[in-house]
Amino acid sequence: MSDQALFWIFAILAGGGAIGVVILQDIVRMAFSLIISLGSTAGLFFLLDADFVAATQLLVYVGGTLVLLIFGVMLTASGPFRRIQMSSGETFVGAAVGLLFFSVIAFTVIDVEWETLDRSHRPVAEATNDETGNTSRAIGLRLVGIPADTEVGIHKDRGEKTGYLLPFEIVSIHLLVVLVGAAYLARAKRQETSEAAGGDA
């Protein structure tokens, strides 16, 4: 039963935070609402037996990406840009389109009979091989292509050959390129102004 209560608390916080991001006008309050939403999503991940993903969500998303966004808010939220009002007509159209879009998705989700999918076993619990719910070892083995329900070195012929090593490497290179690109983009203007200032002097 406590799982039920936790689910509803996290679900209401996640959905309410997401709706708050849309409704609130002040950019700082929007950022705080986003923090609540993403943090509660990490709680939902914990309830779904995905502890490694939940920890990553807290560390990378809430701890990294949102801090980056809040720095952007602080650097740009000066004077009139802190709240940019929409006209009431835009607000009405936005709300109507959002409600229609949500009803399309909701009716689809409710209509489909998910019970027909294979739920005879609990795949994640089986893969983790223990009752502690620790998925980090299983995810690590899955990344290198070893099915987690076999011991390392045994049943090698049974193992699937396709792991996630290539996507992992691509993402690594992608992160490196993004770091260099972001640093370049953020530096370019400052160099220009210093050159211009030097030229003026």
Partner 1 sequence: MDASLTNYLLIGAVMFVSGVVCMATKRNGIAVLMGVELVLNGANVNFVAFSRHTSLGLDGQIVSLFVIVLAAAEAAVALAIALNFYNNYQTIDVDRGDKLQG
Binding of partner 1 by 185 (CB under 8 A): yes
Q: Which residue has the tokens 């037996």?
A: 49
Residue type at 147 in one-letter notation = P
User: Any contact of residue 31 with partner 1 (CB under 8 A)?
Assistant: yes
Applying the rule CB under 8 A, the residues between 147 and 166 that interact with partner 1 are 148, 164
Compute the least distance from the CB of residue 63 to partner 1, in Å.
10
Q: Interface with partner 1 includes 53 (CB under 8 A)?
A: yes
Total length of the chain: 201
| Binding of partner 1 by 19 (CB under 8 A) | yes
Q: Where are the alpha helices (DSSP H) in the chain?
A: 2-23, 27-47, 51-56, 66-76, 88-111, 123-128, 136-143, 165-200
Member of 9, 36, 37, 43 binding partner 1 (CB under 8 A):
37
Per CB under 8 A, 76 contacts partner 1: yes
Among positions 81-100, residues that touch partner 1 (CB under 8 A) are 81, 84, 86, 90-91, 94-95, 97-98
**Which two tokens mark 77?**
């939220």
List Cβ<8 Å contacts ≥24 apart for 137-144: 139/52, 143/168
